[in-house]
Amino acid sequence: MPIIQPSEKDSKNRGILITIYILLILGAVTQIFPFLWMLSSSFKDNIEIYKLPPKLIPPRPTMVEFQFNAPEGATKKQLEADAVLASFYLLQKRPDVKEVRTKFFAHGKLVYELDAPQFQAKKLWEAATVSKATERQDWIAGAGGISKELGGRFYPDGKNIEPTPPPAKQSELRVVAAEVLTKADLASTPRSILVGRSFSPIFDSYRKAYTALGEMPISRFFGNSLVVAILSVAWQLLVCSLSAYAVSRLVSPAWGRVLLLFFIGTMMIPGMVLTIPNYLILKEFPFRSLFGIPFPHANLLNTFWALILPAGASGFAVYLFKGFFDQLPMELLDAARIDGATEMNVFTKIAMPLSKPVFAVLGIMGFMGSWNDFMWPFIVIQKKELWTLMVGLYQLQNSAGEPNIVMASLVLGALPVILMFVFFQQYILEGIVMTGIKG
């Protein structure tokens, strides 16, 4: 059997193809690296972010565990006070320690334990401290409430957990922790100090971001953005699909071209130019008077309607819909009309089911545009409880100031859009391809 040698042209094409793939991979890495760096920084503390050389994979945060022998007949209140003092003194002295665990044993059984993450403990000791001079007394007085906030667990009958023997190898952090316990002057007797790593503090920046705006958690802004995005997409698809169907099938070709040029012309107007007119319209919607006659109107500012209604006017969506509707066979639509279907039935039962790709692509693109919109919600929504996620993140970044919290908030804002594109990219590509096909 003769061996077919690859031609010089095939080798040249293969080289071009390899070059294209390499360039695409480099472009993809260039695009995704800033997000990976942002994601990595959101898991670091503020000291680690500025370390050189920088590390893409964040190290696991340092954790210290104190194990004590509880005094004979110790009460829950005494154990809470000892746990709070040991945790707070160490976290104050060593900011690189992100979590302190305290365990108290009596007769070989665990009777009390407390986990104190740094970001929570700092808020609690600042709230409990009246003055630096009375710091110790203030912490002891508030130990019960602090223990409850941190989820301290008391076991009156004891819990069958064996204490860990002290490690043979000494470390600088264990020496510092021992000095802290001496300064704390606790009623309990230290039996071992363990130094390790913990996964839990890695997510501290996200916990801080969640509560950084006080009484209004970031989940509220997520919900607001979700409601606005879904309703905006539904409104835009309804208005633009009906408009495009009318231009495509219900008017003469000459008028269709004129109307299409009008819709395309609206795409040439910068969005910022329309900001003031839209603001004034929504302030007195639909208008204050008609030919000098007073007309009922309402102020839609500081409502979700101010974000939803402007989304219905999209020249691009009408253009894309019309291109798709033009491809539908006229014979199919005429057959439905002959069978007695109304024009609305033709649209809803024939045109819409056949247009799923374009509905999908415009729905996804509209959702991403609404989700990422910042300037318009920032202008028309002043009530804090109605802020969208982008406005909430802007305020959070201004108030937080810590780089890892800012990075965490940016990841939270970008993640839904990234996930939507990953899961629905097939529909996006299918819609774009099909709208570009001309039959």
State how beta strands 189-197 and 62-69 pair: antiparallel
Which tops the pLDDT comparison, 162 or 104? Answer: 104
Retrieve residue 430's tokens.
């299918």
Listed in sequence order, the residues at least 6 apart from 337 whose beta carbon sits closer than 8 Å to its beta carbon are 343, 346
H and E: helices and strands count for the chain: 20, 7
| pLDDT of 115 | 92
- The 10s digit of each residue's pLDDT in 344-375 is 999 999 999 888 888 988 998 899 899 999 99
- The 10s digit of each residue's pLDDT in 59-71 is 778 899 999 999 9
Span 153-162, average pLDDT: 89
The phi and psi torsions of 298 (rounded to 5 degrees) equal -140, 150
Which tops the pLDDT comparison, 395 or 426? Answer: 395
| pLDDT of 9 | 59
**In which band, very low, low, confident or very high, does the pLDDT at 439 lie, cut at 50, 70 and 90?**
very low
Per-residue pLDDT at 166 exceeds 80: no
Per-residue pLDDT at 318 exceeds 50: yes
Retrieve residue 243's tokens.
């408009």
Per-residue pLDDT at 222 exceeds 60: yes
Retrieve residue 100's tokens.
């302190």
Task: For domain 212-436, say whether CATH 1.10.3470.10 is its number.
Answer: no
What's the predicted TM-score (pTM) here? 0.76
DSSP secondary structure of 73-99: T--HHHHHHHHHHHHHHHHHH-TTEEE
- Which sequence spans correspond to the domains of the chain? 8-42, 62-201, 212-436
| pLDDT of 242 | 93
Span 15-37, average pLDDT: 88
